[in-house]
């Protein structure tokens, strides 16, 4: 049977804060079985913590912000996306200030840090969020659906009225290898006119061509160009995996998104949690042959 996992040792990721532009450090810290994933502000009195859960999502403009009584933390989705891919059940993400390092705008450094220390099995069985019936959610032309599937698969379509982006589609079975190869290095992106408006309000002061793809009306401003022609949909897929951690359990299902952002994802995850006739929380790998089959499919 599959056991819950955390990381073997504590590991740090350093960078600057997107909004403050100041140096900040994040530490991934092993956590006991059954405790889930939470953020801790190590610099505040009493070290307050905030559980990663759909009900704790406080804002979804530009990025996913988790909020609680003691603090809030923005742009959680990039560091969380690696947790979906690695199936990490229990983890404390410690911060030394209000912001998560933006790093290069992708999940690359977070994945590398977690892989460097490696994972360890714990003494409690893992419960999977197994989809048994399709669930759909739509708002305007934005859509999210989920279907039963033996594994975790994500199909994402974006459609931006911009000559460099247009319509792009990504369809991927998610595991550590596919995430590292196809998604982890895909950077966040923004439009020059929005960046200028944010910076005039004292926001995104750490934002630069070092940590985002920036687009003007004609194309990509970054001198180095893109890492893939479809880096945009790859990043949106990474974002969706980060938002999936708010479900509280590793998902076994096929998620299909059309023009979905953080707001739609949060509404969808909340609806999914309430659709009790459409999912079951199950322990998998009850016998050795099932365990071998699922391990081969990337479910260990
Ligand atoms: Zn993002």
Ligand 1 center to 75 CA (angstroms): 7
pTM: 0.93
The domain total for the chain is 1
Residue 32 in 3-state DSSP? coil
Question: How confident is the model at residue 203, as a pLDDT?
Answer: 79
Q: How many CB atoms lie within 10 A of CB 210?
A: 14
pLDDT computed for residue 298 by the predictor:
63
Ligand 1 centre and the CA of 293: distance in Å? 33
- For residue 239, the CA-to-ligand 1 centroid distance in Å is 5
Residue 101 Cα to ligand 1 middle (Å): 13
Q: How far is the CA of 58 from the centre of ligand 1 (A)?
A: 16
pLDDT given at position 234: 98
Distance 8 CA to ligand 1 centre (A): 27
End-to-end Cα, the chain, rounded Å: 9
The β-bridge partners of 198 are none
Domain that holds residue 110: 3-296
Give me Rg for the CA atoms of the chain. 19
d(CA 79, CA 38): 12
Q: Which of 19, 78, 254, 262 is catalytic?
A: 262
235 is catalytic: no
Question: How many angstroms is it from 188 CA to the middle of ligand 1?
Answer: 5
What's the CA-to-centroid distance between 64 and ligand 1, angstroms?
9
Q: What is the pLDDT along the chain (300 residues), one digit of tens a residue?
A: 899 999 999 999 999 988 888 899 999 999 999 999 999 999 999 999 999 999 999 888 878 889 988 899 988 999 999 999 999 999 999 999 988 999 999 999 999 999 999 999 999 999 999 999 999 999 999 999 999 998 899 999 999 999 999 999 999 999 999 999 999 999 999 999 888 888 888 878 888 899 999 999 999 999 999 999 999 999 999 999 999 999 999 999 999 999 999 999 999 999 999 999 999 999 987 666 666 777 666 665
Which of these, 211, 246, 184, 215, lies nearest to 19 by C-alpha position? 211
Tell me how far the alpha carbon of residue 147 lies from the centroid of ligand 1, in angstroms. 24
Give the Cα separation of 85 and 188 in Å (integer).
18
Question: Residue 142 maps to which CATH number?
Answer: 3.30.1700.10
User: How is residue 78 written in tokens?
Assistant: 């990039």
User: In this predicted structure, what is the pLDDT of residue 135?
Assistant: 97
Distances (CA, A) of 112 to 14, 36, 108, 273: 12, 21, 6, 31
CA distance 76 to 15: 14
234, two tokens: 């790859």
Q: Cα(4)–Cα(120) distance, rounded to whole angstroms?
A: 8
Taking the CA atoms of 3, 94, 231 and 117 in sequence, report the sign of the dihedral they define. Answer: negative
């Amino acid at each position: 049977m599959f056991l819950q996992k955390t990381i073997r040792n504590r590991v740090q990721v350093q960078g600057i804060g997107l909004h403050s532009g100041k140096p900040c450090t994040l530490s991934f810290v092993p956590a006991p079985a059954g405790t889930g994933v939470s953020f801790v502000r190590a610099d505040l009195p009493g070290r307050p913590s905030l559980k990663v859960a759909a009900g704790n999502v406080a804002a979804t403009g530009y990025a996913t912000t988790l909020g609680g009584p003691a603090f809030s933390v923005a742009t959680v989705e990039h560091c969380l996306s690696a947790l979906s891919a690695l199936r990490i059940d229990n983890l404390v993400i410690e911060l030394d200030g209000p912001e998560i390092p933006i790093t290069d705008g992708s999940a690359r450094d977070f994945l590398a840090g977690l892989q460097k220390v490696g994972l360890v099995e714990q003494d409690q069985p893992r419960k999977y969020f197994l989809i048994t019936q399709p669930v759909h959610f739509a708002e305007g032309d934005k859509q999210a659906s989920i279907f039963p599937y033996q594994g975790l698969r994500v199909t994402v379509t974006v459609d931006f009225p911009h000559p460099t982006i247009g319509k792009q589609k990504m369809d991927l079975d998610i595991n550590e290898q596919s995430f590292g190869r196809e998604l982890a290095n895909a950077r966040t992106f923004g439009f020059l006119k929005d960046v200028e408006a944010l910076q005039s309000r004292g926001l995104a002061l750490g934002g630069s061509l070092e940590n985002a793809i920036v687009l003007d009306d004609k194309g990509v401003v970054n001198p180095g160009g893109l890492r893939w022609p479809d880096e945009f949909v790859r990043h949106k897929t990474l974002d969706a995996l980060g938002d999936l951690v708010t479900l509280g359990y590793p998902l076994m299902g096929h998620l299909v998104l059309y023009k979905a952002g953080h707001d739609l994802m949060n509404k969808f995850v909340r609806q999914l949690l309430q659709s009790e006739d459409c999912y079951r929380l199950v322990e998998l790998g009850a016998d050795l042959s099932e365990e071998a089959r699922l391990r081969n499919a990337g479910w260990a």
